[in-house]
Amino acid sequence: MAVYTEVTAEELDALLERYDIGELTACKGIAEGVENSNFFLGTDRAQFILTLYEKRVSPGDLPFFLGLMEHLAQNGVSCPTPVHDRSGQVLQTVAGRPAAIVTFLSGYALLKPQPAHCFALGSALAALHESGLTFPLRRENALSLAGWEKLFAALGGMAGKLQPGMPESIGAELQTLRREWPQNLPAGVIHADLFPDNVFFLNDKVSGVIDFYFACNDLLAYDLAICLNAWCFEPDRAFNVTKARALLNGYNSVRQLAPEELEALPLLARGSALRFLLTRLYDWFNTPDTAFVKRKDPMEYWRKLKFHQDVRTPGAYGF
């Protein structure tokens, strides 16, 4: 959540003049999206979100992200749709940063999703995967095995400060994952960051999915494994099999998971836990104390990794 860059009224006026979306009536920085600056825009016609892309998003990736949102929206996935200016352009420059105006989605994120929400999330995730199959652009997952190894090397043993033995344990896990990571599962566009704050609900139905700035091409079941970690653990650290089963059932109701995808879930869940453990560790040791963002607890994902390491079959998830 953040607003890193401020936008002057002059810049806003100049921006809005390029569009045919009405007269600006409101602009407020909003606490949404960790990586970018986001503003709620009201005009006399509708509501929008203005996003300024900060340095963690590579400008070269923006055509993929914005194109994907437009493609998904056209294929029935409720997600922010980039708005074209009068000349047809989506990407702008505001306050010296790449920027885009997207549509405003109804609904709001749930801090405490229930099993019914996990079912709805599963269906939405499968629909996103199906719609993504026809998207023509590609983006490698920079945060898969090779990326994890880079992060691990950059950490250079620092993790031991948080928990003795953690570096050795991560090193061994990386070796296992490198050896056993599945190669032939169905792949396509994945969201790759579908945490509860990126899913809006209205009347217990998914009203929208936001924040596609980690989206990439990877194994579809890996996206489900990310959700398993992000949605199915309780604040007391317990794994909630009812939620996991609901998530899987919801997914299967739209796209039936293949037996080999199900079989791979424990390993994919370990990979997903390691991915967030590593990025959180990196941020933990590299975010200046004076920074504007709250650092997320790496230990949460350390414990999730340990949990999945003890899982032998998908049956342990309640499947």
Q: Which residues bind a copy of itself (CB under 8 A)?
A: 1, 3, 6-10, 12, 24-32, 40, 42, 47, 104-108, 110-112, 201-202, 289-290, 292, 294
**Considering the complex, what minimum distance in angstroms separates the CB of residue 232 from a copy of itself?**
18
- Least distance between a copy of itself and beta carbon 44 (Å): 9
Measured torsion, CA atoms of residues 182, 163, 155, 194, in degrees rounded to the nearest 10: 50
Q: Could you tell me which residues are beta bridge partners of residue 48? A: 41, 103
Structure tokens at 301: 């994902």
Residue among 104 and 181 whose Cβ is closer to a copy of itself: 104
What are the C-alpha distances in Å from 88 to residues 124, 241, 248, 276, 317? 29, 47, 40, 37, 47
What stretches of 133-219 show up as alpha helix (H) in DSSP? 145-155, 166-180
User: Closer CB to a copy of itself, residue 40 or residue 319?
Assistant: 40
Rank residues 33 and 266 by Cβ distance to a copy of itself and give the closer one. 33
Q: How far is the CB of 105 from a copy of itself (least distance, A)?
A: 8
Measured CA to CA in angstroms, residue 277 lies from 31, 112, 176, 183 at distances of: 23, 22, 16, 23
Integer CA distances (angstroms), 211 to 44, 126, 145, 198, 283, in order: 26, 17, 22, 6, 19
Of 171, 187, 194, 198, which is closest to residue 278 (Cα–Cα)? 171
- Name which of 11 and 130 has its Cβ closer to a copy of itself: 11
CB of 77 to a copy of itself, least distance (A): 19
Kindly state the smallest distance separating residue 8's Cβ from a copy of itself, in Å. 5
- Output the smallest distance, CB 265 to a copy of itself, in A: 28
Nearer to a copy of itself, 31 or 137 (CB): 31
> Of 31 and 258, which has the nearer Cβ to a copy of itself?
31
Shortest spacing between CB 110 and a copy of itself, in angstroms: 5
Can you give 237-299 as a three-state secondary structure string? CCECHHHHHHHHHHHHHHCCCCHHHHHHHHHHHHHHHHHHHHHHHHHHHHCCCCCCCCCCCHH
Residue 184 or 203 having the CB closest to a copy of itself: 203
Helix axes 241-254, 115-132, angle to 10 degrees: 30
Which tokens belong to 99?
A: 């920027």
